[in-house]
Amino acid sequence: MDAFGILIIAFVTAIGGGTLRDVLLDQPVIWLRDLTYAYTIVITVVLAIIFQHKIAYLRRSLFLFDTIGLGLYTVVGIEKALSADIPWVICIAFGTMSACFGGVLRDILSNEIPIIFRQEIYATACILGGMVYFGLSQFPININWIFIISLSVVIVVRILAVVFKISLPSVYK
């Protein structure tokens, strides 16, 4: 890809899930009004292009940051859907979509099968974290703890799945 293609892919990946969530919830799409998001994406793309040969050495760190983002955006998506008075099952779907859909768009634009449609434990980790969120919310637990524990469940499930090569069974062989 040329630099423009990389920028478009990075932009869609970064804002895709949250944008879809906000549009469906009829809430303001924040990156349209706050240029900090666009500047951050452009600067990150420029740095990634300049240091592309060094990035390979950071593969584990990048995986960890991606996994943390997966957990964070899952819980943020759930909470945004809750604020719109959406049923809990749909809130989990919104959380999963918030965390995963930017990557789905990236993969589709790159002509690849999206990671959540393969055997990897990715969206499943988000769903489990969402279930923990709503399970814990049935008890008198501070919402900050629910947030942290649910986020941690997504992170731990994703890391364990990768480390121990755990995947969902394939339907087609």
Give the pLDDT confidence score for residue 157 in this predicted structure.
98
Q: Which of 2, 44, 4, 15 has its CA nearest to residue 106? A: 15
User: Which pLDDT band, with edges at 50, 70 and 90, does 168 fall under?
Assistant: confident
Q: How far apart are CA 157 and CA 102, in angstroms?
A: 20
Give the pLDDT mean for 99-120. Answer: 92
What percent of the chain is modeled with pLDDT above 70? 99
- DSSP for 62-113? HHHHHHHHHHHHHHHHHHHHHHTT--HHHHHHHHHHHHHHHHHHHHHHTTS-
Give the pLDDT confidence score for residue 54 in this predicted structure.
87
Contact present, 9 and 106 (Cβ < 8 Å): yes
Give the pLDDT confidence score for residue 56 in this predicted structure.
79
Residue 120 predicted with pLDDT over 90? no
Kindly report the average pLDDT of the chain as a whole number: 94
User: Which pLDDT band, with edges at 50, 70 and 90, does 125 fall under?
Assistant: very high
Give the pLDDT mean for 6-33. Answer: 96
Give the pLDDT confidence score for residue 169 in this predicted structure.
85
User: Which pLDDT band, with edges at 50, 70 and 90, does 173 fall under?
Assistant: low
Give the pLDDT mean for 45-71. Answer: 91
Three-state DSSP at 167 gives strand
